[in-house]
Structures are given as structure tokens and as C-alpha cells.
Amino acid sequence: MCRNIRPLFNFAPPATEDEINAAALQYVRKVAGTTRPSKDNEAAFADAVAAIAAVTRELVRERLSTKAPPRTREELAAQAKDRGRKRELRIVGRLVETEKP
């Protein structure tokens, strides 16, 4: 589940409320070990998401600083695609090696 949490700091444009809330939700889901809380735990689950979103918002908007130029989401997506292609080539290479007589 945590692979779905994306970096939120140092982007142009800055992280949106939806992105911050989605990351908080994914974190709480991972920690709780469930994607949907039981009726008894709904309030605690929602409170945890709200608290983590608030802390995350403060962290990425007010507390962290960098001298690096802001990144773009497209740049990160291209890097991820490149990593995926390289991973696929490694896997195919291993398969070819194991099939050799």
C-alpha cells in the first residue's frame, strides 16, 4: 500500500489538499492494516487521517526548506517510467539467461 504514497515536497505547483489527504489516508490504511475501518473504528480512522494530513501539510508547506529547484510531477513520472523499463529489461535478461542450454 505505501508504494502509493507520493513525494509531496518541493513541487511546482505545490502539493494539493487532495494529494496530502490521499497520502495521509494511505498511511493510516497501512498502519491500521485495513483499507476500510469497522463501524466501531470509523471515527478513530477519520481522526487519524485528519491529524496526519494536518501534520503533513505543515511539514511540506512550512517546515521543510531546500535550495533545489522545484520538481514537476511529469519529471517524476518520466523517471518512474525509466526505472520501470530498466527493471523490465533486467527481468527479461534473467529469463533469457535461465532458458539458455
Same-domain check for residues 49 and 85: no
Residue range of the domain that includes 57: 2-70
Same-domain check for residues 7 and 24: yes
Exposed / middle / buried, residue 24 (Cβ in 10 Å: 0-12, 13-18, 19+)? buried
From first to last of the 101 residues of the chain, give the pLDDT tens digit.
456 678 899 999 999 999 999 999 999 999 999 989 999 999 999 999 999 999 999 999 999 999 999 999 899 889 989 999 999 999 988 888 887 66
pLDDT confidence of residue 2: 54
> What's the CA angle centered on 34, arms 28 and 37, to 5 degrees?
85
pLDDT confidence of residue 21: 95
Query: What torsion do the CA atoms of 2, 3, 6, 7 make, to the nearest 10 degrees?
Result: 90
Count of domains observed in the chain: 2
Same-domain check for residues 76 and 39: no
Same-domain check for residues 39 and 87: no
If we measure between CA atoms, which residue out of 6, 22, 1 comes closest to residue 79?
A: 6
